[in-house]
Amino acid sequence: MITGKTKLLGVIGYPVEHSLSPVMHNAAIAQLGIDYVYLPFPIKPEDLHTAIQGFAAIGVVGFSVTIPHKQAIMQFLSAVEPIAQAVGAVNTVINKNNNFIGTNTDIEGFLAPLQTHQQDWSQKVAVILGNGGAARAVVAGCAKLGCAEIHVVGRNVHRLRDFSQSWENSPLQVNLNVHKWDELPRLIPQTDLLVNTTPIGMYPKVDESPLSAAEMANLSPQAIAYDLIYTPNPTKFLQQAQQVGATAIDGLEMLVQQGAAALKIWLQRQSVPVDVMRQALQKHLG
């Protein structure tokens, strides 16, 4: 029952109707029995500043940030925590005394399913497809794992150069190399962890993959392929990886874990019902 006392949480993005965040957060809220609701807010890039001012005016407690706002939002916040500064992207915002503070729980979310794979990451090569806000969290995660080499592959040479330069003064020890897309066939055979951070393969274009079947055929069967996309499940990218015998990780667990970390921040709690969040998503996705 939503009343005038119900506290507001939400997710901003554009588009945002595909977001599963409301499903898992509202399931957790119901389990906890608290008077909150989590809503999706479709906000066009040109309306971002106005929306943030509106959120302040109505006392929104906190919100998630997804594509395409993860970097653009930083200029409109009162403060950005060091982890998000290091990544250069915000995915979680909390309202503290009418000041919006940005942080990043994507790194925690990204690492959670990888930590179940016992590996000597110091010997491993990570290749990351894409160079947007999500890729930044993955680079930071791979640096935290201690990967021997981190390669980022993108299509826009200028954006790649900016991406590379933005890590030069980072507090994170990032062993980063950037490459144009046409260099990918050379990188694939030596890849231990292949991560798709692009939106290619996301609903509704479910028949697309960032790689051709021929490119994926050169991936080692010992490799891990990780797609940050969580719907459809599995994506075409992960289907291709499974066909060569690689381990596939979809974006669902990252979504759950980054969401749980965000919910702890908003509610100021030590724990939240992670299993309930995961089960709600699995049920929703059938």
Binding site for NADP(+), by residue number, is 130-134, 228, 251
Sequence-distant (6+) residues with CB within 8 A of 68 are 13, 14, 45
Residue found under tokens 């919910």 = 263
- Rounded to 5 degrees, φ, ψ at 177 are -125, 140
Beta bridge partners of 153: 129, 179
Q: Which residues are annotated as a binding site for shikimate?
A: 19-21, 66, 91, 106, 230, 258
Query: How far apart (Å, rounded) are the C-alpha atoms in residues 58 and 48?
Result: 16
Q: Which candidate, 221, 253, 210, places its Cα nearest to that of 116?
A: 253
Query: How far apart (Å, rounded) are the C-alpha atoms in residues 166 and 179?
Result: 15
Token pair listed for 45? 């890039």
Q: Is 218 exposed, middle or buried (0-12, 13-18, 19+ CB in 10 A)?
A: middle
Q: Is 70 a catalytic residue?
A: yes
Catalytic site residue from 44, 70, 96, 283: 70
**What is residue 112's three-state secondary structure?**
helix
Q: Which residues are annotated as a binding site?
A: 19-21, 66, 91, 106, 130-134, 228, 230, 251, 258
Query: How far apart (Å, rounded) are the C-alpha atoms in residues 114 and 112?
Result: 6
Question: Which residues are designated catalytic?
Answer: 70
